[in-house]
Amino acid sequence: MDVILSEQAKPLSNGVAFFTAAAPPPESTLAKMQHAGFEVTHLYGLAEVYGPAVVNEWHLEWDALDIEEQAKLKARQGVRYLPLESLDVINPETMEPVPADGKTIGEVMFRGNVVMKGYFKNLPATESAFKGGWFHSGDLAVKHPDGYIQLKDRSKDIIISGGENISSIEIEDVLYKHPDVAVAAVVACPHDKWGEVPFAFIECAEGKAVTEEVLKAWCSERLAGFKVPKHYVFTSIPRTPTGKIQKFQLREDVLKRLEK
């Protein structure tokens, strides 16, 4: 979800509340939308759990926080719906829940009678999806001390650099906060020493321009050094008709660039 507000844009006289699911909007987008009068609530789920099964239930005491702090909280996916028996963030290797520290990444898993029984006529896929008695979503997340979960990446999009897991969403959030960046997408780039490093694709805001050096410095001030993208390409970023960024095309683009 990309939001670009023109200088002529005015806040709504009456607020508009709506729900969003699929890819989580960046914190900066949520803050802009709140300034414009839109109240966003995150939902999260999959077809395998019959649609949304998790909601970022808002706490009234959070209303006292400034908009930037509220945006950080709105970026979370939240807690389970009541019909869902269990929701957790679990280490898929040990099948143990990750600590609720807001840092340790695990896989979001579901359990309960709103979860599908299996994939039609595909026993191997069903057994893999339900390994350990939980439905494996393929989404990676952290669990905060209050129990709310927050998505960090799809398992296929996580960047593993020198044995460290790097969330592309975390890097994109930082890039989106730069005033000259309209759209950002980060994917893994193969690297001889580290295995993978972050590679950033950038669309500049209308009438704006920014350099690789400026963005590297911006990220270095806000991220650990190993998370800072090593490469930046300024281009139009491919999206589906519904606006979802097509990262598989970007990964193919990276490989083509390496071949040159």
Sequence-ordered strand ranges (E) for 144-227: 149-154, 159-161, 164-166, 181-191, 195-204
Given this model, what pLDDT does residue 1 score? 47
Q: What are the Cα distances from residue 46, in Å, to 52, 115, 119, 170, 252?
A: 7, 9, 13, 22, 26
pLDDT tens digits, 68-111: 899 899 999 999 999 999 999 999 999 999 999 999 999 999 99
Given this model, what pLDDT does residue 94 score? 96
CA–CA dist 187, 256 (Å, integer): 14
Average pLDDT on 144-172 reads 92
Most confident of 9-23, 107-121, 246-260: 107-121
Phi and psi dihedrals of 73, rounded to 5?
Answer: -75, -35
Identify the residue whose tokens are 């280490």: 91
Q: Torsion angle, CA of 75/51/92/74, rounded to 10 degrees?
A: 10
8-state DSSP, 158? -
Query: What domains lie within the chain, and their CATH numbers?
Result: 16-80 (no CATH), 86-154 (2.30.38.10), 159-259 (3.30.300.30)
In contact, 250 and 237? CB cutoff 8 Å: yes
Q: Residue by residue, what is the 3-state secondary structure of 39-100? A: EEEEEEEEHHHCEEEEECCCCHHHHHCCHHHHHHHHCCCEEECCCCCEEEEECCCCCCECCC
Instruction: Look at the chain and count its residues.
Output: 260
